[in-house]
Amino acid sequence: MKTSHSKRLLPQRAVSQREAGVGPPPLFACDSLLWIGDAEHPAVSAAWHLCQNHCDAISIRRSISDALAAPPRQSITHLVVAQTNRHERDCWAIDGPELAALRNQFSSVKTLVLRGPLVAPTVRLPAQSSSTQGPATPDWVDSIALSEAATYLRYWLANSHVELSGEADRGTSDRRSGLATMPEFRIADLPPIVVVAARYQYAASLIDSISLLFNGCEGPEPMVQWQRDVTPRSGRGFATVMWDESVATPETAERWPDRCGRAPQARHVWMTGMASPQQRRLALEQGVHQVLDKPGRLECLVASLRAA
């Protein structure tokens, strides 16, 4: 991995093999990344180190204006904006004053914003222009919370995606689209799961997402059950307990030892969209194995289930 403007030249034989689709696979998931923001900020440490390990070349710019004034000399395939807090005006990538110029200059590049805890997620839809003077500005920017960035970046940098059908989920590459599916997600690898939520409606989307992962697979679907609460008796036999914040509210962190103690054999995952960094950290210290954002990424959910 290099962080200079130069791009390593492969031997001619290696280039020919890559173009012919033969020979060893590329060593890196991403050819060239442009990182905008402070790469030394403690909040981005995990994401930055992952990018270093998965990218062939990285160019760094401290701000969006710097990237516009001095773009990398080589073409880039991925662009990351690390916005650690909402007060960093130079890195406002969501509704920021230089967003349109950034997206226009790198319109064909995959762009992702890494959001710190004080940065609101992208919630609006891409703008639809009725102007006759040209197409709408490509101002839609995808984003991920820094708490889940290290997990999601593994798939994003490699242009991987989760196929919602067992037939396609074979860990192979689609040569026509260039997208690599995730390795096969075997039913035998997924032990029973219980989703704890105040109402079934709150758990339904999570249960449906897990069920969709096995759509088209042979054999029975994995056991995924909803419970309004978990007791030592009802929690027996479950390998994963997924706590929705409708039951496990952020302000009740002192109850995590009791909650986790009801199913001591299980892995406990907290689904929350309201918890502060301090509340997330306290939950992990009190027995929770992982905290997932709500709403979250399917890739992060799959990674969490694989860890069970």
> Please, are residues 227 and 195 in contact by the beta-carbon 8 Å criterion?
yes
Range with the largest mean pLDDT of 66-75, 127-136, 157-166, 176-185:
66-75
Sequence-distant (≥ 6) Cβ neighbours of residue 279 within 8 angstroms: 250, 251, 253
Residues 228 and 150 in one domain: no
Domain boundary among 115, 133, 158: 158
Is 247 a residue whose pLDDT tops 90?
A: yes
Residues 215 and 136 in one domain: no
Range with the largest mean pLDDT of 159-168, 213-222, 270-279:
270-279
pLDDT of residue 102: 84
> Please, are residues 30 and 77 in contact by the beta-carbon 8 Å criterion?
yes
Q: pLDDT exceeding 70 applies to what percent of the chain? A: 67
Residues 21 and 148 in one domain: yes
Residues 151 and 188 in one domain: no
Residues 177 and 288 in one domain: yes
Residues 181 and 150 in one domain: no
User: Which CATH number does the domain housing residue 133 bear?
Assistant: 3.40.50.2300
Mean pLDDT for the chain? 76
CA distance 84 to 43: 7
Average pLDDT over residues 87-92: 58
This prediction has a pTM of: 0.70
Residues 128 and 60 in one domain: yes
Q: What is the dihedral of CA 209, 77, 39, 118, to 10 degrees?
A: -40
| Segments forming the whole domain that contains residue 239 | 173-306
pLDDT of residue 260: 96
Residues 179 and 145 in one domain: no
Question: Which pLDDT tens digit goes with each residue over 251-288?
Answer: 898 999 999 999 999 999 999 988 888 999 999 999 99
164 falls within a domain: no
Domain boundary among 110, 126, 158: 158
141 falls within a domain: yes
Q: How many domains does the chain have?
A: 2
6 falls within a domain: no
Of the candidates 86, 136, 137, 135, the one whose C-alpha atom is nearest the C-alpha of residue 113 is 86
7 falls within a domain: no
190 falls within a domain: yes
**3-state DSSP of the chain:** CECCCCCCCCCHHHHHHHHHCCCCCCCCCEEEEEEECCCCCHHHHHHHHHHHHHEEEEEEECCHHHHHHCCCCCCCCEEEEEECCCCCHHHCCCCCCCHHHHHHHCCCCEEEEEECCCCCCCCCCCCCCCCCCCCCCCCCCEEEEHHHHHHHHHHHHCCEECCCCCCCCCCCEECCCCEEECCCCCHHHCCCEEEECCCHHHHHHHHHHHHHCCCCCCCCCCCEEEECCCCCCCCCCCCEEEEECCCCCHHHHHHHHHHHHCCCCCEEEEEECCCCHHHHHHHHHCCCCEEEECCCCHHHHHHHHHCC
